[in-house]
Structure 1
Amino acid sequence: MRTQLRGEARGERASTRRSPRRSPGRSRSFATALAALDAVAAAGAQVSVCVTDLDSGETVLAGDAHLVLPVAGIGVVPLLIEVAAQIDAGTLDPLQIIERSSVAPVTVGGLWHRLAAPALPVRDLAVLAAAASDAAAANALLERVGLETVRARVEEIGLVKTALIDGFRDERGPDDAPHVGLASTGELVTLFAGLVNAQVVSPAVSAQVSEWLSLNQDLALVAASTALDPFAHDDDRHGLLFVNKTGRGDGIRAEAGVIAGPRAGAAYALIVCFDDLSVAHRLRAHEAFRALGLDLMEYVY
């Protein structure tokens, strides 16, 4: 991994929640994350990372941020953007009921396949897809809005290295797309920063997608260092704003999000593709995410 650290200059804070500015004597080297990422890369993993300052947009950490890699469930984010955009435009009723039987059964992740309810409204499916990485809910939404429509929305937003290429499947055959989604960490940080800064499609769409993503219960990777409650992480007491989406697959761990504290804010993305040969390999990959989380907490506090 070719990792490059870049210095950054602090501008005025866009929100009073993240002021005053950080004192200049505190470290911003991301040394903990760099050591962990180097260890994972040395063990044969493919690593891509990018961190930008939320207000200035300046890159403060980058390593192979241009690479297009599989991101598993993060591919749901463009789908959620399209769903929110259609709801905002009035072409999709958020209370429209969708039958679970309208899509092929899938049990690779989520809750809906374990629930008694055979049908749910669009809005609830979006919540399940964002909060619980629900494969059945995501597939039902994708069937409703259409894959080509999602792809067109991605192009409209200006993303060229991010794509939702397939729905979720319990097993992928030779005739299926090899992955759910692809992205680069460079584009993911741009996308997440745009969402929280109300710049994706429209302020209303950005706010809706950010709200759905703020419900994500997977706080085991980067977010493990935040000590947030995975079931209720609107942590106003300590002034921490956190929005994220994770992706998990065989030999794939990915996370992108935004973290903002009293002194700073950052958009981040990390993808690690590794040989998932043992628990030790998986733990090494997870440790890299948690190390990045520690440095991000230092950055925003």
Structure 2
Amino acid sequence: MNGLDAGRAGLRGERRNVDATARIEAAFRDAGVTGRLHAADIDTGREVGVRGGEPMVLASVFKVPLLVAFYRSAAAGLLDPTEPVTLRPGERSMGPTGVSAMLDEVRMSLRDLACLMITVSDNAAADALLDRVGIEEVNATSARLGLPGLRVETNGRDLHAGLLADSGAGSLGELWGRLDEPGMLGRLSALDPARTSRGTPAEMTRLLGLIWRDEAAPGGECAAMRRLFGLQVWPHRLSSGFPYDDVLVSGKTGTLLTIRNEVGVVEYPDGGRYAVAVSTRSLLPIAVLPQADAVIGTAARIAVESLRRRPSGS
């Protein structure tokens, strides 16, 4: 390809990206959300984004950098992944899934806590693992991997307590009932990326790329992480955009009041691998909003399809 042909191919690629971003923006508007997205070809580096460099509230996506720090610490011999932990009723973090929802004392290994943290987004498991690894180590790990803007600021216990303190509500149920009060959303530090755990969609896709290329940790540990992402049980967000038996979607969701996130990797049978991070904020203070969930898959599919169109002349 000569210089002129390369220039034309580049312009065509730019036009495809512009078309994809316009379609993604339209999908966000139709779903009644504002959104951020970044998608990248893990092997070529080609990318497409919609405000992908702007910080997003991580919510439960903070469990991804925590998982990386855990497995790196295990590989370095700083902790034993089979170390048993006892989680007692009344002492563990609240949540609707996993150990958080159980009534009796539970004893399991650190690596099994990591499994519940990723596959069903268990808050109690995540906080127990974070207590063992340490927030400082999680953030230091992200910095070592070239992602200093990816920051975990709090655990699930303190996040929940902060929501109640900021709102003056006595429970999350009461808070949901008062979300439409004037100024309420602005008072909640947990919804402000400047005051809570944060990172950009582009940073999240870079981290996923490191995991999938065996660069975030030794190969065995990266394989263990990929296995857990592949076992996530939620099909209603990222996976909904790729309803094909031969396409593998691995991911991690994050939900906090009006914020709905998912980051993950989409793998095609031809070997194509695409890291995607989507963060949305609903304009309506409603807990069940199917269109806000589904648009994550729609936007991801548009982005990945754009990346899969090979540049003309290549």
- Identify if the C-alpha distance between structure 1 residues 260 and 6 changes in structure 2 by more than 3 Å, giving closer, same or farther: farther
User: Structure 1 stretches of 5 or more lacking a match?
Assistant: 10-27, 229-234
Moved more, 290-299 or 247-256: 290-299
**CA contact 1:189–1:268 (8 Å) conserved in 2:** yes
Alpha-carbon separation, structure 2, partners of 1:127 and 1:260 = 21
Supply the AA of the counterpart residue of 1:283.
Answer: P
State the 1:185 CA deviation.
0.7
Is 2:60–2:255's contact at 8 Å kept on the other side of the alignment? yes
Q: 1:138 to 1:279 in 2, by over 3 A?
A: closer
Cα separation, 2, equivalents of 1:136 and 1:223: 25
Q: Is the Cα contact below 8 Å between 2:39 and 2:300 reproduced in 1?
A: no
Aligned equivalents of 2:11 and 2:63: distance in 1?
Answer: 30
1:148 paired with 2:136, answer yes
SS in 1 for 2:88: helix
Alignment partner of 1:96 is 2:83: yes
Structure showing the higher helix proportion among its residues: 2
Deviation for aligned residue 1:292? 2.3
Q: How far is the alpha carbon of 1:104 from its aligned partner? A: 3.7
- Which of 267, 277, 282 pairs up with 1:260? 267
Structure 2: which amino acid aligns with 1:164? V
Using the alignment, how far apart are the partners of 2:294 and 2:234 within structure 1?
Answer: 15
2:187 pairs with 1:187: no
Structure-1 separation of matches of 2:225 and 2:143: 18
Is 1:247 aligned to 2:265, yes or no? no
Classify 1:43/1:213 alpha carbon distance in 2 versus 1 (closer, same or farther; 3 Å).
Answer: closer
Q: TM-score, normalising length from structure 2?
A: 0.74
Q: Could you list the per-position Cα deviations for residues 198-219 of structure 1 after superposition, in whole angstroms to 9, with x for gaps in the alignment?
A: 1113323322222222211122
Q: Normalization by structure 1: what TM-score?
A: 0.77
Alignment root-mean-square deviation, CA: 3.2
Cα deviation digits, residues 119-164 of structure 1 (max 9, x gap): 2111110100010100000000011111111111111111122111
| Bigger Rg over Cα | 2
Q: Give the structure 2 partner of residue 202 of structure 1.
A: 218
Contact 1:33 1:291 in 2 (8 A): no
- 2:21 is the alignment partner of 1:40: no
Q: Which runs of 5+ in 2 are unaligned?
A: 1-9, 167-187, 310-314
The equivalent of 1:110 in structure 2 is 97
Give the letter aligned to residue 209 of structure 1. M
Partner of 2:38: 50
* Equivalent residue number for residue 14 of structure 1: none
